[in-house]
């Protein structure tokens, strides 16, 4: 069951933290901090980027490649922290693509876009 503060499932959080070498006890706080930032900027994202509805509590924003670098800079995330957050959002997007039977489309999107999972909860 996903944490209500961010739309990333627990198993994905563990995997992303391990792959990016970020302490697992630190990653939930990072994801929450990023989620607050994404919610604050949601109106801008809705105007500027394609949005895909997810099967759960998330919508996905398909931003330009490199958007995670900009977010990381704005939030002063280390390279590893930014990589862990990016991996978590991408992995959740891929998992939801399988749930929606749209795996190929979602994987192709990740090749050319940065995907941001934004909670549909206020």
Average confidence (pLDDT) per 10 residues, the chain, 122 residues:
71 88 90 96 93 86 96 96 95 94 94 93 64
Domain-embedded: residue 3: no
Number of domains in the chain: 1
Q: Is residue 1 part of a domain?
A: no
Global pTM value = 0.92
Is residue 4 domain-resident?
Answer: no
Q: How many residues does the chain have?
A: 122
pLDDT at 58: 83
In-domain check, residue 39: yes
Residue 90 lies in a domain: yes
Residue 38, domain member (yes or no): yes
Q: Which domain holds residue 45?
A: 10-119
């Amino acid at each position: 069951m996903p944490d209500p503060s961010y739309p990333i499932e627990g198993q994905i959080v563990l995997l992303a933290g391990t792959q990016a070498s970020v302490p697992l006890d630190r990653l939930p706080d990072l994801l929450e901090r990023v989620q607050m930032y994404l919610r604050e900027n949601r109106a801008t994202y809705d105007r500027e980027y394609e949005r895909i509805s997810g099967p759960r509590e998330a919508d996905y924003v398909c931003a330009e490649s490199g958007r995670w670098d900009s977010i990381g800079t704005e939030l002063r995330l280390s390279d590893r922290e930014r990589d862990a957050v990016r991996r978590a959002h991408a992995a959740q997007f891929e998992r939801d693509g399988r749930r929606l039977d749209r795996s190929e489309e979602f994987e192709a999107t990740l090749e050319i876009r940065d995907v941001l999972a934004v909670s549909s909860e206020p």
